[in-house]
Chains A and B, each alone.
Chain A
């Protein structure tokens, strides 16, 4: 379920950006649907910026992402005004959509709601003619050019969608943890990458072709990833080591196929 072969580090910045926009608008009493639109638009802008730097200036995608991510840090900090904003006295998406007595059940249900809506939209998008063109762009650029597809436009649109979704997860997480922190995005790209790689491994082993099921297995990969981290922490390891453990875990996922001499993902 990899669409492009672009390691997009903008993620670290757009995740925080989503949380920052959420904090600013939520504390100003904006309605939640408007906040969702604003958050995703902000993320999309970040993605478009990375896409433009990469395609127009022919700068390596990795460097383009680093540039935008670094710039976003200042943008996020200036916009937020300080490094941490609590979101305790606001009507979050989890309270607005609550249907259960217990808060944890509401969090689960809202999470599932967002996941199923997004997965449905993505599954539809990726099966359309446009979605096929996008998937082919990441697969064989000479083919897509010859078939009348503007690869640069595809990459920019793809990065815009990816970062809009990343910003939306910043929206959800900020309200889930009830604060926005300027450093919450650090290393989040690894969480995404690790989840997709686990999902891809499962998809490969089981030989899954359906786009729908592939999306489900990427989500399964994400949950497995988080569970590994949760189990590690529950063993009593210092939370300060969490990022190190994340990095080592992703290194293991990426490294094992290479050590075994198999084709690297």
Chain B
């Protein structure tokens, strides 16, 4: 699905505060894989995710999406393949726009936004049905500004928005970090349900090792801008959560 070849990212090159955030990363993620990415702060996980999304362009190396070279494509062009959920619930939604408006834009992620009124009765019904599936009681609040909802509700909706249009790669950057435990559980369950239902190729960054243990079928640990561990489904299944805590000594 996505292949990273010799990806290196250097911030502030040639200055005193030069940082090598990614160092010669080679990574290939197959279709249907659910990769959990862990690592301490500053290990390069978020930079790696941003490089996949196109939010930052690599200093060196090549990125292929379904065999197509996308190395130089900015984020808004990579949206053809990639859907994102941000750590900050504010990041993935437009707060002053209604739930329905937000979903309309999400439904056009891979398409041009034309001069036509796209929100009609059929679209409204589709969105209502999808949101009803969340079980959060939001299906009757479609006209409400999305900013009036709680962080957990917004993250759950953002997840749902990511499958309103065709998605090849779903990137989740600590989607529950800003949430209370109960909301976090709702969001992670929603994520798991959507990923299974749509067979999404997914990369999840998390600091929660319980979540890292429980979800996904591949586990990657990063440190100092490099991949230090890469466990496949079988190895990950054998892994005990205590062993993971030991990695962070």
Residues of A at under 8 Å CB distance from B? 124-125, 127-130, 132-133, 135-136, 139-140, 142-151, 209
Contacts and interface: CB of A to CB of B under 8 A. Distances in A.
Given A129-B108, A147-B108, A149-B113, A142 B97 contact: no
Given A127-B119, A143-B94, A146-B79, 14 more contacts: A128-B113, A128-B114, A129-B104, A129-B116, A133-B108, A136-B97, A140-B91, A144-B94, A146-B86, A146-B92, A148-B79, A148-B109, A151-B76, A209-B98
Interface in B58-115: 74-77, 79-80, 82-84, 86, 90-98, 101-102, 104-106, 108-111, 113-115
B79 A129 contact: no
19 contacts: A128-B114, A128-B117, A130-B115, A132-B113, A135-B94, A136-B102, A139-B94, A140-B90, A140-B91, A142-B86, A143-B94, A144-B76, A145-B55, A146-B76, A146-B79, A148-B77, A148-B80, A148-B110, A209-B98
Nearest to B90: A140
A148 B102 CA distance: 13
Query: Which of B74, B94, B106, B108 has the largest count of A CB atoms less than 10 A from its CB?
Result: B94
Interface residues of B, number: 38
B53 interface: yes
Nearest to B171: A146
A264 to B, nearest CB: 15
Nearest to B54: A145
Contacts of A149: 76, 105, 113
A139 B101 CA distance: 12
A87 to B, nearest CB: 35
B118 interface: yes
Nearest to A127: B117
B189 interface: no
A145 B83 CA distance: 11
A132 B104 contact: yes
Contacts of A132: 97, 101, 104-105, 113
